[in-house]
Amino acid sequence: NNNKYKATTKIYSFDPHPRTYHTSYMVGFAGPVQAALAVTDWLADPDGKPPKFKAGEFLALTEDGKIFVFQSPVNWVEINQPYCAIGSGAEYARGALASGKTPLEAVKLAAEHDVYTGMGFQEFNH
């Protein structure tokens, strides 16, 4: 589908905080924008009560090289694999990563097979 539109970024950077993580980190999300906005607002200022929501997936990449997934911003689960993917196209992306594709190639391949994946691509390097 060549009619995909460019959306606002789904990846945000955060500073270390005692209630979140001890190094800087980036968080990407899949799912409803309302959940993402609530979580990213809380991660930016985590001194209040964390938001609760029923849908949405988040993936955190930390400055010290760890990968976490979460559905609640206070319950992160570490992924002990060299890569991870979230969202409706995650299985396609993980398969592509397992076969040696780069993360960008994996997301583009997932977008070819999942109508909810895509809407623009941006690669981040550290």
pTM of the model: 0.85
Q: How confident is the model at residue 77 (pLDDT cuts 50, 70, 90)?
A: very high
Compute the distance between CA of residue 94 and CA of residue 103 in angstroms, rounded to an integer.
9
- Tell me the CA end-to-end span of the chain in Å, nearest whole number: 30
Write the pLDDT tens digit of every residue in 25-65.
999 999 888 888 999 999 999 988 999 888 889 999 999 99
